[in-house]
Amino acid sequence: MQTSVPIHGNYHGYYLKRPSREDPRLALLSSIFAGKRVLDIGCNEGWVTCEIAQLWCASKVLGVDIDDSLIRGAWRRRRSVWSSQSPGDETTPVLSVHDTEERPRKRLREEPGRSVLNYFPASLEHTFGPLSIPPSQIRGRHAFPHNVSFRAADWVNNEILEDKDHYDVVIAFSISKWIHLNGGDDALMRFFHRVHSVLDTGGVFVLEPQTWDTYAKAKRMDQRLKENATNLKLRPHQFESLLCSIGFGPAQHLGTTGEGGFCRPVDIYVKL
Ligand SMILES: C[S@@+](CC[C@H](N)C(=O)[O-])C[C@H]1O[C@@H](n2cnc3c(N)ncnc32)[C@H](O)[C@@H]1O
C-alpha cells in the first residue's frame, strides 16, 4: 500500500533524515538481541532491521511494513549491506541455534582486527552490481543475511504466517502515533494486545512512542487523520498503564535518543 501522502508514516528516504547506521536506539538495547527471534514492526526500508541481524546477531529478524514499496527497498538494503560487508566475515564459524543460545556471537564490530561494515565502498555495488550471497547451507541460517527477511503487511489488522512461531523481541520504533491516528484508540489497543499475544512469556516489547505534541503536525497531512484525532481519548503517557493492564511488567525506561524532532524515549516491557 503506497500512498502519495505518507499517512502511515511511510516516508521514503526516512533514513537519509534519521541517521541509522549504528542506530543509537539499538545501542541502548544491545544485549537483548543475541540469538533471539525478533519482529520489527514498521521496518520502513529495513536499515534498523538489517543492523539487528548483522551487528547484534539475532538468530532471526523479520521486518514488516504496511507499504510494499518500502519492503522492496528493504530487500535491496539487505543486499547492499551484504555487498559492503567485509569478506572476512565469511570465515566466521557458523553456530547452530543451540550454540547461539549458549554462546552468543559477539557483536561484529567488537571482534579485534575486523572492519566488517562498509568494507567495500557503495560505488562498488553501483558499478558492478551487488555481491552474490552464499547459500544458507554454507553460511548458516542464523548468520547475516540469511537471518533477516521482510514482509509487506498491515500488522495491526492482519496476522502473518510467522506470528504463530512467536518472537522473543518485538520492536515498535516510531510507529504508535501512526497506528493511533489511522485507527483510533481501538487500533492502538488491538496493536498492544497483538504484541502481547505473539511474544513468549519473558519476551520483550520495545516501544519508542511519539509524544502527544507531535500528533498535531502529523494529523494535518490528511482530513481523515484530523477527524480521527478528535476522537482519541488515550494519550502516550498512559501507554505504560495500558500495557501493564494487559499483562506486561512495568516499563524500563532506557533513555532518550535522537536529535530535534526525533528525540524520543525508548522503553521496554517484559511479558509476564
Ligand atoms: C516513521 S516510520 C519508522 C520506521 C522505523 N520503525 C524506525 O523508527 O526507524 C513508521 C513506519 O511504520 C509503518 N507502518 C505504519 N503503520 C503500519 C502498520 N499498521 N503495519 C505495518 N507497518 C506500518 C510505516 O509504513 C512506516 O514505514
pLDDT band at 22 (very low <50, low <70, confident <90, very high): confident
Residues 139-164, mean pLDDT to the nearest whole number: 96
pLDDT score at 107: 55
Tell me the longest C-alpha to C-alpha distance in the chain: 56
Out of 178, 189, 222, give the residue to mutate to test ligand 1, the one with the largest number of ligand atoms within 8 Å of its CB. Answer: 178
Answer positive or negative: Cα dihedral of 24, 26, 28, 34.
negative
pLDDT band at 108 (very low <50, low <70, confident <90, very high): low
Task: Report strand pairing: 60-65 vs 199-208.
Answer: unpaired
| Spacing, Cα 65 to ligand 1 middle (Å) | 6
* CATH level 3 topology of 17-270: Rossmann fold (3.40.50)
pLDDT score at 2: 52
The 10 Å Cβ neighbour count of residue 216 is 10
| Spacing, Cα 44 to ligand 1 middle (Å) | 6
pLDDT band at 119 (very low <50, low <70, confident <90, very high): confident
**Residue closest to 173 by CA, chosen among 81, 32, 63:** 63
Residues 150-171, mean pLDDT to the nearest whole number: 98
Asked if residue 102 has pLDDT above 50, the reply is: no
**Residue nearest atom 3 in ligand 1 by C-alpha distance:** 174
Out of 25, 66, 158, 264, give the residue to mutate to test ligand 1, the one with the largest number of ligand atoms within 8 Å of its CB. Answer: 66
Asked if residue 96 has pLDDT above 50, the reply is: no
Cβ-contact 55, 92 below 8 angstroms: no
pLDDT score at 105: 47
Q: What share of the chain has pLDDT > 70, as a percent? A: 88
Asked if residue 40 has pLDDT above 60, the reply is: yes
**Alpha carbon separation from 209 to 7, 59, 172, 215, 222 (Å, rounded):** 17, 26, 8, 11, 21
Asked if residue 93 has pLDDT above 60, the reply is: no
**Residue nearest atom 26 in ligand 1 by C-alpha distance:** 10
Residues 39-62, mean pLDDT to the nearest whole number: 96
Q: Which of 23-27, 130-134, 195-199 has the lowest mean pLDDT?
A: 130-134
196 contact partners, CB below 8 Å, separation of at least 6: 205, 246, 247, 248, 271
Residues 63-78, mean pLDDT to the nearest whole number: 98
**Residue nearest atom 1 in ligand 1 by C-alpha distance:** 9
Residues with CB under 6 A from ligand 1: 8-10, 14, 41-44, 48, 64-67, 70, 154-156, 173-175, 178-179
| Spacing, Cα 21 to ligand 1 middle (Å) | 18
Q: Pick from 49-58, 115-124, 171-180 the range whose average pLDDT is largest.
A: 171-180
Asked if residue 147 has pLDDT above 80, the reply is: yes
Asked if residue 54 has pLDDT above 70, the reply is: yes
Task: Report strand pairing: 148-152 vs 264-270.
Answer: unpaired
Asked if residue 115 has pLDDT above 80, the reply is: no
